[in-house]
Structure 1
């Protein structure tokens, strides 16, 4: 619009003015015709400057973001066999997602013995998944501490800690690449062990039926596999790692009941000597646990065996089981 107005007035003044020479009129009109292109270039340059400034702002923001704890701390490295028993202990633990926010876990204090199977239940927002994040130190403690086999995990390097824990998440995480790479990303196991883990996860028949077998290409996010198959691949990956502490973060929430039963059966047999913390989506999956933690508003309100909790008709666990038709 600005360019058109300049051209209009340039031509208008050339016509109205009587004493102008033809050369001056031609020069002014030709320059006026170029103004639109110049204005377009100006807008483009302004846009490029703004884009580059945003990039600098992002780099500045990332540079000022608080980093995670060190990946490795050589003088605090635990033994290769740690944890031997898999005893998990929370001592007056409290955590918030970042400074200024309310605590999501408050004065959490409990001990899980080595090899014990513990279910974690609670209403939405009770703090179940926050316990998992705290164990992997994705969020750091505000108060208290967590001990695994009497070693304070806050003193360990993140790699030393996370490599000794195994999680089967609610949303299966797969990467684009071969099936074998997804099962054994660091290539620390032989093919016999990989096939054995697939057999225990009830996937061996499926993989044997694939033309490429273990070299079958998995698309980004595992889109060329069903949800149940993705979850079983995560289970197979956990079987390969076979650490002393296993966390199930609503691992069967996205699969059908038949696949749920397969996963639960495998976990009971293959992880019978491991400490298993199960965040329950379906209450029937934790009814055979040794003990159950009931969370409410970030606090432990009940911690006992399922039969004892069900005997108390005033307990939260009883009311949840009644809602689910299990009591």
Structure 2
């Protein structure tokens, strides 16, 4: 009974620090993978500016930290193995001495074969003891992932406001109003990094909570509109291209509720129809993870920028368009320009709708 108590205490002590070390190992591994992915994505830029040594030194620092946690974890496993072996040796010694003592002092003769069998089974105890303790420890350590998922499930979900009513054809006019809206810092569309351009777009999709003020579309406060209606009726073209592994159709129509003709019409509008046809399988053509076989990029040359702007003018001719730009040439032909100046918005006076300059 005493040996079982000792083995339980050893296992409990080991599991306590092993679980935390496993957690640290996962935390230390993430920077290594992230740095490798970032370096691979910007390898040409790193070489162009001659920063190979700096990136290699950063990688070594991340690897050293990860190996440090792995070393401590492996050392803990070796310690457990040695401790359980010593405990098993003590159990075998005590069992052997007890068996011989009983055989010598007993009035009835105990067969030597029975004593040998008892000692033989006792020799198996250390092996099974190590196996049981390590198995329990491994199960608890791998439950760390389940624990993290459980924590995510406990996070407060967004209020989708499903009970709110909105017209099926909302919005009709596309009139967007930001009335005293504040999301923590200055709001702008044209401004330097950190001025609030992207945050303004996130607030429009109700992904950033307003500290004060309201945002209205066609006179309706977005706080009273279901999130599904907002995010299905308002479109967002992100700065960074985002493609998932699958097919062209699954990327363009995840719910598979759009007719082929509409998808081909959209591809033709963005000048991708012929390219998709050349892939051989049309809409069922494979898309690799991250769109590697399409070579997407957020950096555009002058000619590509001109084509993109022409597509925007043509596709969204009857829509309200808010553009977050990093180049002045992108927004020079827009009706309204907003700029960040000391926590306030400066705008160019509204002018009559402009004719598409790319015709």
State the TM bucket, normalised to the shorter chain: 0.5 to 0.7
Q: Distance in 2 between matches of 1:181 and 1:198?
A: 14
SS at match of 1:55: helix
The aligned counterpart of 1:182 is 251
- In structure 1, which of residues 180, 184, 191 is the aligned counterpart of residue 260 of structure 2? 191
Q: Verify the 8 A CA contact 1:179 1:216 in the aligned structure 2.
A: yes
Q: Verify the 8 A CA contact 1:126 1:296 in the aligned structure 2.
A: no
How far is the alpha carbon of 1:185 from its aligned partner? Answer: 3.7
Q: Distance in 1 between matches of 2:346 and 2:293?
A: 42
The aligned counterpart of 2:308 is 263
Q: Distance in 2 between matches of 1:88 and 1:214?
A: 35
The aligned counterpart of 1:147 is 216
The aligned counterpart of 1:72 is 162
Quickly say closer, same or farther: Cα 1:181–1:40, change in 2 above 3 A.
closer
Establish whether residue 300 from structure 1 lines up as the match of residue 317 from structure 2: no
Question: Which of structures 1 and 2 has the bigger CA Rg?
Answer: 2
How far is the alpha carbon of 1:122 from its aligned partner? Answer: 1.6
Q: How does 1:216-295 map to 2 (within 5 A)?
A: 216-227=285-296, 253-295=298-340
**Bigger helix fraction:** 2
Q: Verify the 8 A CA contact 2:177 2:215 in the aligned structure 1.
A: yes
Q: How does 1:1-327 map to 2 (within 5 A)?
A: 1-6=82-87, 20=101, 24=115, 27-28=118-119, 30-52=121-143, 55-56=146-147, 58-59=149-150, 61-70=151-160, 72-73=162-163, 75-80=164-169, 82-95=170-183, 103=184, 105=185, 120-227=189-296, 253-295=298-340, 299-304=343-348
Number of residue pairs aligned between Structure 1 and Structure 2: 259
Worse-matched range after superposition: 142-151 or 35-44 = 35-44
Regions of 4+ moved over 6 Å: 10-17
SS at match of 1:291: coil
Q: Verify the 8 A CA contact 2:181 2:214 in the aligned structure 1.
A: yes
How far is the alpha carbon of 1:8 from its aligned partner? Answer: 5.4
Q: How far does the alpha carbon of each residue in 1:281-310 deviate from its partner, in whole angstroms, 9 at most, with x for none?
A: 22221122222222367x334222699xxx
Worse-matched range after superposition: 37-46 or 260-269 = 37-46
| Structure 1, unaligned runs of 5 or more | 96-102, 109-118, 229-252, 308-327
Q: How far does the alpha carbon of each residue in 1:195-238 deviate from its partner, in whole angstroms, 9 at most, with x for none?
A: 3322221112212222112221223332321215xxxxxxxxxx
Q: Distance in 2 between matches of 1:56 and 1:284?
A: 50
Q: Verify the 8 A CA contact 1:289 1:305 in the aligned structure 2.
A: no
Q: Verify the 8 A CA contact 2:161 2:224 in the aligned structure 1.
A: no
How far is the alpha carbon of 1:266 from its aligned partner? Answer: 1.1
| Structure 2, unaligned runs of 5 or more | 1-81, 104-111, 352-359
Q: Verify the 8 A CA contact 2:244 2:287 in the aligned structure 1.
A: yes
